[in-house]
Structure 1
């Protein structure tokens, strides 16, 4: 193995999927197939991929979609290494998630092996970060379902039903989040509010607000936390009184949104 190669494999026990994060990989992969689905992204490098007797040139930001049983192989076509992130889902898990999203019990079949889709690419990279950093179940579930919804809408051969919700429905969800931000809110709770599927809610909410419902909720919580910190409250107390599960998750989100830790933000106002 090349000394610069780095391989990370994580199994998420809450959502039951594998995540591969490979850096600077140079090895070729001979013809093989999997008995599970593979959703992968290339973030660096170039490969020649053969899948089901078709040849593809796969570059950075391309996405590969393999069905169970798809025969594929690949090798590097430049002098650099390959950075690859892969998400592996068993047939049982994929079928369950498809039912959860669309309320249909149907086997999923990807219609394309290689696609270029910035929304899907960004969502996969976000999911990788959430899993590797072991963030909350709600974070990971919402991102996984959004990723699958985006893929199902465009790259699944057996068409699934698509519904939409209007601006009033989105307002109902937003109002609920603003009033109940201290509570443990799950995606299914929001779906029941307006009687839609998870995919419909995610699709329409992202279109209207440019972020997912859970991200919107975290923005509300951060806003409440800022108010308390500005009054001199301790970060540990703010975490417990703004809806976060613990101080660690609170600090992660606060720094991610504002670029500084809660304590540094608080100290600005104390010194002032």
Structure 2
């Protein structure tokens, strides 16, 4: 494979309140994880093997990727190929508001598939991404966002009257809520076990089946979410490391880059809005 210079570019649109990013020349594997926001992205180049919600996919240039909040997924390169990928991250509250304006009904949509091969929607993702990068007028960016969402909601989401919400296991839900509140503590498996009527093996199997990730991986994702919030608020990476339960800053930095693709400092710079800018900042 040719040696392509690695680029990691992330932009935050302060007016639309969404992230747009491009990973180019990347061979990094991304471990099993989830997000608390929607992801709409497409592959521009480089094949990847993707695991999502218990299914496997081989994706390539022109394929559209759709992740609901909490869809656990991971991916790795095929034959060491360099990834070129663009995507936008949309907060649930922003998605709900947009869906209300598009459909007349305020609800959180659910993507009914994670991969759409050779999708005609991919160019719309790129159009929105590019308008954010170029700091186009707000009206243009808003139009691009709504045109994209109209397409994906109309073609790739479950109709509102067919959306079913399964009842979570109450003991697993309790453990999740506990880790959400105590993420900065040194939580042990025995501690979680003491809160349930489960055996250790059954707890691990049930938790992983229910959430898509193991208890420790869930805790890591919670810590990552909190770390991102603190970095966005201007806390230093060294302080964030201690505030989110990591053993040291080196461990925090390595973990953050493994999941996000940027160092904590690089991620934080995205939110340091340039003077006079109403749209976006970037880090490479």
Output the TM-score relative to the length of structure 1.
0.56
Q: Matches of 1:132 and 1:91 in 2, distance apart?
A: 22
1:32 aligns with 2:33: yes
The runs of 5 or more residues in structure 1 that have no matched partner are 161-272
For the pair shown, the structure with the greater C-alpha radius of gyration is: 1
Greater RCO, CA 8 A, separation 6+: 2
Q: Matches of 2:45 and 2:4 in 1, distance apart?
A: 17
SS at 1:119's partner residue?
coil
> Deviations for 1:118-158, whole angstroms, at most 9, x for unmatched residues?
43111111111111010111111111101110111111012
Q: Matches of 2:144 and 2:120 in 1, distance apart?
A: 12
Alignment of structure 1 residues 48-87 onto 2, 5 Å: 48-87=49-88
Alignment of structure 1 residues 5-154 onto 2, 5 Å: 5-116=6-117, 118-154=119-155
C-alpha spacing 1:114/1:13, structure 2 compared with 1 (3 Å): same
Moved over 3 A (4+): none
Contact 1:50-1:74 at 8 Å conserved across structures: yes
C-alpha spacing 1:139/1:109, structure 2 compared with 1 (3 Å): same
How far does residue 80 in structure 1 lie from its aligned partner after superposition?
2.4
The runs of 5 or more residues in structure 2 that have no matched partner are 162-284
Output the TM-score relative to the length of structure 2.
0.54
> Deviations for 1:61-95, whole angstroms, at most 9, x for unmatched residues?
10110001101000000332100111001111110
Q: Matches of 2:107 and 2:88 in 1, distance apart?
A: 20
Higher helix residue share: 1
How many residues are paired up? 159
